[in-house]
Homo-oligomer: A and B are copies of this chain.
Amino acid sequence: MRMSKMFIPTMREIPSDAEITSHQLMVRSGMIKRTATGIYNQLPLGMRVQNRIESIIREELENVDYQEMLCSALIPSELWQESGRWTRRGAEMFKLKDRRGREYCLGPTHEEVFTDIVRQEVSSYKQLPIRLFQIQSKYRDERKPRFGVIRTKSFTMVDAYSFDLTKEEMDKSYKEMKKVFSRILDRCGLEYITVEADSGIDGSPASIEFMIQSEIGADEIAICTECDYSANLERAHCFDRHFENEEIKPIEEVYTPDAGTIKDLEVFFGKDASGFAKTLIYEADDKRIAVIVRGDRAVNEIKVKNFIGDVESFTLATDDTVREVTGAEVGFAGPIGIKADRILVDSEVASASNMIAGANKTGYHIKNVNFKRDFDGEVGDFKTVSNGDRCPICGAPMKIRRGMEIAHIFEPGYKFSEKMNATYKAENGKTEYIHMGCYEIGTERLTAALIEQNNDDSGIVWPMSVAPFKVVVVPVNLKNEDVVHTAENIYMKLKEVIGNDVLIDDRTGSAGVKFKDSDLIGIPIRITVGRDLRDGLVEMKLRDSDERELISVSSVVEVVRDKISELR
C-alpha cells in the first residue's frame, strides 16, 4: 500500500480526552475515531489490526471445528423473556421498538439466539456436538464509557458456543477452548493471566477470565504469590483467618448509645474489628436475607447471590426494611432474633467465639455471641478476600491486583436449555437438556491491551502477528531519482512476497516526519533508502530496537522475509 493513498490521520499532540496510553496512541496513530461518547469507528489502520486478530481467531477456531455464522444484532424480546433475562439484564441493554410496536434489544450477547437456532434443529443425540461462532457487533449501554475502545457502547465480540450431550462432554469442550483461547492470545502476543471468575450463571463453577494486569482494569484479582492460583475477587476464596479459641462466655447486653461505627465500637470494647460479627440485610425479590461476616471483612454480594440462587432483584435493604427486620434503628442489626427469611453466616463467624454483635435493639450490642449456641443460620463463604489472605490451594499469601478482562470462557450448562426447552432424545430414549459452553473475546479491547503492553515514547510497537503492516519502505529524498527508483523496486518485490503487508511512504515531506509516523503507527521493520545507496546499501531498523543494520539492495527481500518469519 502507498502511504500517499492511505487515510491514516496521525497527530503529534495527545488528545485531551484520552486518559490512558492505548487510547492516546490509537487516536494519535489514526486507528480510531470517536463519533460520540462510547462510540468509536475503526479507521483503516485500526481495521487492519482488527482483521489480523480476527484471522488468527478464525483460524484457531476452525482448526477445532467451530463454524462461523452471523446472527442479527436485532433480537426480539420474546427470546430474552423466555430465558428470563429481558428484565434482569437491566439498564445495560439497549431496547427499541419497530413500527408495529414489537420490542427488540440490541444483543449485548447471543446465548438466546444460538440456543434458539440449535433447539429448532436438534432432536436426536446423533446431531450433537455442534460448534459455532460469530464475529459480531455487540451493544451495551455502559453507565460510564471510558478509556477509548476499552469500555464502549458498541464493540466487536467473537462469541463461540459449544453444544454437547452431557456435562462431561461440555467440560471437554470447555477445556479444549481454554487451550484454544490461550493459543489465540499467545499468537497475538498478549501477556495475560487466567483467572477463576464468576460466570454470572447460578451454580456454574467453570468460568475463566483471560486478563491483563492493569491499573485501569475494572476488576480486582487475588493472585497467589507462590502457586498459580488467581481468581477474580468476585469469586476468590481463601483459608479462613482463625483466632485462638477462647473459653465460651455467657452473653451480655451492653449499652452502646454513642458507638455508631465499627471504629467507635473497637474503642468502646477494646477489641479489633475481627472480634465483631457484622450483619447486613439484603432484599432478594420478596425475601429478606441477613448476611453475617466478621467486622474486618466485606460481604461478597456475588457469592451471596450465587448461594441463594435464581432471583430477579438483589439489593441492600432500605433503612425501613432494616428497622422492620431488626426492630431497631439502623446500626444495631445482629444475628440473634433477627426476623430475616434466611440467615447466611460466613464460615469465619461460625468458627469464632465470643463475638460482639448488634442487639437488634436501639443503642445496644451483645458481647460473647457464639454460633449455634446463640443463633443459627446457613454457613458458607460470603466474604471478600483481601490482601494477604492465604491461597486456598497452597496457603501462601495472596496479593490483590487490578485486572482487565480480554476474554471469558464459561459453562452455562443447561441453564438456557432448561428455560428455552433445548433438548435432544438420548440413545436410551430419554429427553435430555443440551449442554452449552460459551467463549468470548472482545477484539477492540484486545487491541488496546496489546498497545498497553507494547509501546514506548515514540508510539506503538506492534507484535509482528497483528501489525497493520509488517514492513515500511521509506525513501528519504523524493528528488533523488535513484532513491525513488530503488525504493519503488524494493516495494514491488516485497509486495510479491508478502502482499499487502508492505507499505511505502511515498509522501513528499521530510524523512523525519516519515520516521516519526512509522514509529507512531508501530511498523515492526523499517527499510530506509537514503544516502547509503551510493554504496548499494539500505538501512534496516526494527521498531523494538535502536540498532540499524546496513544491508545490500540485492538481499533486502530475503533479509526482510527471514526477519518476518523470525519475529512471527
Report which A residues bind B (CB closer than 8 A): 2, 5-7, 9, 33, 35-36, 39-44, 47-48, 50-51, 62, 65, 67-76, 78-79, 91, 94-96, 98-99, 102, 106, 113, 116-117, 120-121, 130-132, 137, 139, 141, 143, 153-154, 156, 500
Question: For the complex, what is the distance from the CA of A43 to the CA of B41, rounded to whole Å?
Answer: 27
Given contacts A35-B79, A74-B153, A99-B141, 13 further A-B contacts (CB under 8 A): A5-B65, A7-B131, A7-B132, A33-B120, A39-B76, A42-B69, A44-B67, A44-B68, A47-B68, A47-B70, A50-B70, A94-B96, A95-B96
Query: In the assembly, what is the distance between CA of A339 and CA of B112, in Å?
Result: 60
A50 to B106, CA, bound (A): 22
Contacts of A70 in B (CB 8 A): 41-42, 47, 50, 156
Kindly report how many copies of this chain are found in the complex they form together.
2
B41 touches A71 (CB 8 A): yes
Q: Is the CB of B137 within 8 A of A72?
A: yes
Contact A113:B62 (CB < 8 A) given known A69-B44, A143-B99? no
Residues of B within 8 A of A42 (CB): 69-71
Give Cα A137 to B51, complex, Å.
Answer: 17
- Interface SS, A side: mixed
A137 / chain B contacts, CB cutoff of 8 Å: 72-73, 137
Query: Nearest chain B CB to A422's CB is how many angstroms away?
Result: 14
Among B35, B50, B67, B78, which residue has its beta carbon within 8 angstroms of that of A6?
A: B67
Q: How far is the CA of A106 from the CA of B40 in the complex (A)?
A: 14
Contact flag A76-B35 (CB < 8 Å), given A7-B67, A99-B91, A141-B99: yes
Contact A130 B7 (CB under 8 A): yes
Q: Give A2 to B63 CA distance when docked, in angstroms.
A: 12
| Complex contact B41–A72 (CB within 8 A) | yes
Cβ A76 vs Cβ B36 within 8 A: yes
Chain B, Cβ-Cβ closest to A137: B73
Out of B62, B75, B120, which one reaches A500, CB within 8 Å? B62
